[in-house]
Amino acid sequence: MRRSRALGVLAVLVVGAGGALLWRARRAPDASAEQVGDARGVVGAETCRGCHTAAYDAWSDSFHAKNAARPSADSVIGDFETNPTYAYKGTTSRMIHEGDSWRMRYTDAKGVTEERTIDWVLGRARHQVYLTRLDNGSLQVLPTYWNVEEGRWRDSREGTVDGPDPQEPSHPTFWRNFGRTYQRACMECHAGRSEKRFDQKAYTYASTFEPTIDCEACHAPGATHVTAWLRQDRAAAAGTLPALGRLDLEGRIQNCAQCHARKRIYAEGYRPGDAFYDFFAPHVWEPGMFFADGRSSSLNYRWVDYMQNGCFERTTRTMDCGFCHPPHGLESIKDATVVQANAICTQCHLNHKTRLTEHTRHGAESTGSRCVECHMPPMPLDLRMTVRDHTIGSPLPELTRDFGAPNACNRCHAERDADWAQGFVRAWFGGQPHFEAYRAKMRSRAEVLKVALTPDARTPASVLAGWLDDTSRNVVERCSAAEMLRHGDNSTLAKAALLRHAEDQHPLVRYYVVSALEAFPGADVEAALRRATSDARRIVRVRGYVALIQRTPSVADEPAMATVREEHRVREEDVRVDDPRSKSHDALWHFQRGEMAQAETLLRDGAAMTWPVPGMRADLVQFLIEQGRLDDADAEVRALEENDARSMAARMSRAFLLMGQRRPAEALPLLDGLLDEGVSTPVIEQARGQAAAQIGAPPRNQR
């Protein structure tokens, strides 16, 4: 949530259980007591501490409390003293600590050196990254971070940003560029009460945020609550903050998922108890992020895994996040004894409490008898970190052998292979009805996801339609099935299945159905999208509206679309104000409507916002060529070439400009070069064909 920093808080000098009595002693009842807190009703954690001392004390030592801080001897955990230099493929980082000053001196692969002050440190659990403030107010994640699990420095390219080589200064996630801007990509969750305050004309930030994830991040602003207690009005105080324990199971999980989910954000201002799907659309299974059994291979922030687990599916009001993680202290059980660690699980699995080794087949105090080691093993993510698996499944080494998904057995017994481990699993549990049903379900899922999670694969539409139709399946399976149906091997069957669920009971299923329907033609699809713009949940309304106006831009002018049109505008201009991807998307829409001035403004805004990343300027070149403004296009191409003449964007833009200037013989070698490097898109292939035809050159396959 983005809420402004508290401008002032009431210093409540009360502690412990006697807080209310001390208040009465120090402050006479006053029905006209002033409202405390700032303009948004925020009072700050120190005010909460007055009455909620135990919760505050537990929280103050948690990772939430230590989320971010100014650099100091207490907050910096990277080794700046004995191991201050790190080299990676021609780049070098030197960490400098002098008194109260913490700095990083970075030399890129071209030998360019820049020394930056570290203004904030972010994270303590697995990674600690370092932020520096640029002149425009953006906080940028510096290129070298401290890997807590490994106890060593790492370059972002080998860890938090996937890729084998150092980044060029024109890459979106080079440390100076928008892909590494804290306010754009991190602040929504890695801060409390944040306000982006981005000026899209000046391209500057005047952001405010609370570095800790404190009481009001989860409980909502507390000014009204505190004021009611100051007035000793118990009745009024009772309803001033949402009662988190009285939310239903999914509502309690969603309060954590506002940060602990990989998601698209549709609106700001979520508070506990609000309709989650008016604000957020969590990601589900997609290529490159998951193993074939549906477990995360990349950082997905828990929600998508947790919503798959059988414990969640079979409980009604019990197993929320706080069932395992005390909500204030967030203590870890990794250092507890086996009995202590297993006590959480055996609250439900009573038979394993008294017959533990009969179930685990390992020594009573061994690692193999810890429930989490088999059912929530640390998963090797592609970010040089491990996170415990929250799908809470059972080990199936055969899925390692057949589909490459990791298993808990071979994590401990790494010297053995999956067949060896599978032999024990089959001997111990084979033939048991519950186990065999689970095994069959997971194998069936993996067979489908092996194909569906492969980019551009044609997935089995009949199976996916069955998943979508089966309301007993979890929300991740059903939503993923809807999204994957757009790439199904039978478009008629896929379209029919999606239309059946355009008004599904679950809002997130409706969202992914609408998203997939975007790819299908027909008046029946358009009618379904129109109905979606009046849905009860904002994410469905706005997604339906976007799909509809892409098909028929004039729909945006209809009076009936006024409400959802405004919701879409707020998302684009407030939530995504510094996201350049929205600029290009909106520019295309204005272009389709014939609104050229608006399209050009958006493209130029995006190019200025992202420079020196070339993508948006390349889009601007294409726009100018389409308008016949070849001299203007040439000026933009020259800027691309001055920035990085070998970039794909520069060469492609020059080739397209040459085609516009009717110089196909000069364009052809550039287009062939791009295709030879594997840069193959329909637009490039079409331009190559046109260039060859105009000069009588042979087709590419006859060169």
Please tell me the distance from the alpha carbon of residue 454 to that of residue 450, in angstroms, as a whole number.
7
pLDDT of residue 35: 64
Please tell me the distance from the alpha carbon of residue 59 to that of residue 317, in angstroms, as a whole number.
24
φ, ψ for residue 249 (rounded to 5)? -55, -50
pLDDT of residue 582: 87
Residue 17 domain-assigned (yes or no)? yes
- How many CB atoms sit inside 10 A of residue 35's CB? 10
Contacts of 537 (CB under 8 A, 6+ apart): 275, 277, 278, 507, 510, 511
Residue 554 domain-assigned (yes or no)? no
C-alpha pair distances (Å), 86 with each of 119, 124, 307: 20, 20, 40
pLDDT of residue 237: 87
**28, 102: one domain:** no
pLDDT of residue 22: 33
**109, 170: one domain:** yes
pLDDT of residue 339: 86
**306, 448: one domain:** yes
Residue 564 domain-assigned (yes or no)? no
Please tell me the distance from the alpha carbon of residue 347 to that of residue 354, in angstroms, as a whole number.
12
Residue ranges of the chain whose pLDDT lies below 50: 1-33
Please tell me the distance from the alpha carbon of residue 625 to that of residue 652, in angstroms, as a whole number.
13
CB 253 within 8 A of CB 306: yes
Q: Which pTM was predicted?
A: 0.91
Dihedral of alpha carbons 580, 584, 589, 594, sign: positive
**293, 430: one domain:** yes
Please tell me the distance from the alpha carbon of residue 157 to that of residue 173, in angstroms, as a whole number.
9
Positions of E strands within 67-203: 68-69, 85-88, 91-98, 101-107, 113-117, 120-122, 127-133, 139-141, 144-147, 152-155, 192-195, 198-199
Q: Which residue has the tokens 């490159």?
A: 288
CB 4 within 8 A of CB 269: no
What region, left, alpha or beta, does residue 415 occupy, with left being phi > 0 and alpha being psi -120 to 50 degrees? alpha
**636, 675: one domain:** yes
Residue 336 domain-assigned (yes or no)? yes
Contacts of 235 (CB under 8 A, 6+ apart): none
Own/partner contacts of 566-574, CB < 8 Å, gap of 24 or more, are 567/266, 567/267, 567/538, 567/541, 567/542, 568/542, 570/267, 571/265, 571/266, 571/267, 571/542, 574/268
Q: Tell me the residue range of the domain where 629 lies.
A: 579-703
pLDDT of residue 227: 92
CB 700 within 8 A of CB 675: yes
**138, 192: one domain:** yes
For the stretch 552-592, pLDDT in tens is 999 999 999 999 999 999 999 999 999 998 898 899 999 99
Find the DSSP H helices in 148-269.
182-185, 215-219, 223-230, 234-238, 249-257
- What is the secondary structure of 512-545 as a DSSP string? HHHHHHTT--SHHHHHHHHHHTT-SSHHHHHHHH
Residue 406 domain-assigned (yes or no)? yes
Please tell me the distance from the alpha carbon of residue 272 to that of residue 259, in angstroms, as a whole number.
12
**316, 429: one domain:** yes
Please tell me the distance from the alpha carbon of residue 595 to that of residue 421, in angstroms, as a whole number.
63
pLDDT of residue 383: 85
Return the structure tokens found at 66.
């230590």
**184, 38: one domain:** no
**334, 399: one domain:** yes
- Of 452, 467, 499, the last residue of a domain is 452
C-alpha pair distances (Å), 269 with each of 253, 428, 491: 17, 51, 39
- Of 195, 210, 225, the last residue of a domain is 210
505: DSSP letter: S
Report the candidate in 645, 698, 651 with the shortest Cα–Cα distance to residue 671: 651
**194, 302: one domain:** no
**113, 178: one domain:** yes
- Of 193, 210, 227, the last residue of a domain is 210
Please tell me the distance from the alpha carbon of residue 547 to that of residue 439, in angstroms, as a whole number.
39
Contacts of 249 (CB under 8 A, 6+ apart): 312, 315, 316, 317, 318, 319, 320
Residue 646 domain-assigned (yes or no)? yes
For the stretch 329-366, pLDDT in tens is 876 666 678 888 899 899 889 889 889 999 999 999 99
Between strands 280-282 and 263-265, the pairing is antiparallel
- Give the CA-trace dihedral at 58, 64, 70, 73, to 10 degrees: 50
- Give the CA-trace dihedral at 626, 628, 633, 634, to 10 degrees: 140
**405, 294: one domain:** yes
- The number of CA neighbours under 13 Å toward the Cβ of 182 is 31
pLDDT of residue 234: 87
Residue 571 domain-assigned (yes or no)? no
Please tell me the distance from the alpha carbon of residue 280 to that of residue 378, in angstroms, as a whole number.
27
Exposed, middle or buried: residue 95 (CB in 10 Å: 0-12, 13-18, 19+)?
Answer: buried
- Give the CA-trace dihedral at 101, 146, 390, 515, to 10 degrees: 80
- Give the CA-trace dihedral at 201, 202, 204, 205, to 10 degrees: -50
- What is the secondary structure of 538-592 as a DSSP string? HHHHHHHHHHHHHH-GGGGGSGGGHHHHHHHHHIIIIITTT-HHHHHHHHHHHHH
C-alpha pair distances (Å), 56 with each of 51, 175, 229: 9, 36, 18
Number of domains the chain contains: 4
Residue 618 domain-assigned (yes or no)? yes
Please tell me the distance from the alpha carbon of residue 408 to that of residue 295, in angstroms, as a whole number.
13
Contacts of 18 (CB under 8 A, 6+ apart): none
What's the length of the chain? 703
What region, left, alpha or beta, does residue 232 occupy, with left being phi > 0 and alpha being psi -120 to 50 degrees? left
Return the structure tokens found at 427.
């001997």
